[in-house]
């Protein structure tokens, strides 16, 4: 006979399988631009991580990576929530004395500043410092994939913020060499895109084309809608610079279609501007200049 109150108690439920399932589903939704659903799922999973700071950090990193990607596309207003997540991740990294988690937190904070730069509220010096420190920690502690990501973003600071094409090329070429040892097609798509952009801005349109086409192919194979939008836009801009009006229109229309599907706001402005700057079918350059000027739009 069992004495009341002495019955064996069930073992506590392990939250990791539930949280890992939520992380996997959120990642899948992130890939196809279902960001609100992904964020809601991760928020709902976070209470299950109570008492497990390492698991909580995994959820926070998933949220921050998704938000930093989404903010290029949609510009949502959630600065307070994002800042709170970054601060909590810093605190967990300190609590666990985990250098790689600290590096990941630095990298995501740098990307937040990177996004803010494009919306007029960045801090280039701090962004670069965070990226370089994250890179050093990741190299020191053997995180090859994370180090390649941080190196790539150091290159973007050199290219975009400092206008130093030579330094950026060195960073991108080293990052590209590292991707050959990794299985990260999205990272590779970023690196080859920027290698192509450097060639395009240098006037080498023929040299830029295969890099941008490779970037699009990698993003399509990964099923990454937001990245595919950006890749179509980049190819459309290059085709336009090459004087290939109809090929440019085709790429830009594809970018518009994807952008409307995922509810882009920020990127669609550039796509629609570029479409508006293209001449109508059969319209010559002189007619285009007159039409664009009459409408107050910029020339192609």
Question: pLDDT tens per residue, the chain (300 residues)?
Answer: 555 666 666 556 788 999 999 999 999 999 999 999 999 999 999 999 999 999 999 999 999 999 998 887 776 667 789 999 999 999 999 999 999 999 999 999 999 999 989 888 889 999 999 999 999 999 999 999 999 999 999 999 999 999 999 999 999 999 999 999 999 999 999 999 999 999 999 999 999 999 999 999 999 999 999 999 999 999 999 999 999 999 999 999 999 999 999 988 889 999 999 999 999 876 544 444 443 322 233 333
Q: Residue 182 burial (CB < 10 Å; 0-12/13-18/19+)?
A: middle
The number of angstroms, rounded, from the C-alpha of 114 to the middle of its chain's C-alpha atoms is: 10
Whole-structure pTM value: 0.88
By the 8 A CB rule, do 253 and 274 touch? no
For 138-190, what is each residue's pLDDT tens digit? 999 999 999 999 999 999 999 999 999 999 999 999 999 999 999 999 999 99
């Amino acid at each position: 006979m069992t004495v009341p109150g002495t019955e064996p108690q069930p073992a506590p439920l392990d939250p990791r399988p539930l949280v890992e399932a939520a992380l996997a589903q959120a990642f899948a939704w992130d890939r196809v631009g279902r960001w609100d659903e992904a964020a809601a799922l991760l928020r709902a999973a976070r209470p299950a991580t109570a008492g497990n700071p390492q698991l909580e950090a995994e959820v926070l990193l998933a949220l921050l990576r998704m938000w930093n990607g989404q903010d290029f596309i949609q510009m949502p207003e959630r600065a307070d929530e994002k800042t709170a997540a970054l601060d909590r991740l810093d605190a967990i990294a300190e609590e666990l004395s985990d250098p790689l988690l600290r590096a990941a937190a630095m990298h995501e904070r740098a990307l937040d500043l990177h996004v803010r730069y494009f919306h007029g509220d960045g801090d280039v010096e701090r962004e670069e410092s965070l990226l370089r420190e994250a890179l050093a920690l990741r190299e020191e502690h053997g995180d090859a994939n994370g180090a390649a990501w941080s190196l790539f973003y150091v290159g973007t600071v050199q290219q975009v913020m400092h206008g130093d094409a030579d330094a950026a090329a060195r960073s991108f070429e080293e990052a590209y060499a590292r991707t050959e040892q990794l299985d990260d097609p999205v990272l590779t798509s970023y690196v080859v895109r920027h290698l192509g952009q450097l060639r395009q801005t240098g006037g080498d349109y023929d040299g830029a084309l295969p890099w941008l086409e490779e970037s699009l192919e990698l993003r399509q194979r990964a099923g990454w809608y937001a990245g595919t939008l950006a890749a179509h836009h980049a190819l459309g801009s290059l085709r336009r610079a090459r004087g290939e009006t109809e090929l440019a229109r085709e790429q830009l229309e594809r970018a518009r279609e994807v952008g409307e599907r995922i509810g882009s706001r920020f990127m669609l402005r550039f796509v629609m501007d570029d479409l508006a700057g293209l001449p109508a079918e059969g319209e010559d350059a002189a007619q285009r200049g007159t039409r664009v000027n009459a409408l107050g739009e910029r020339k192609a």
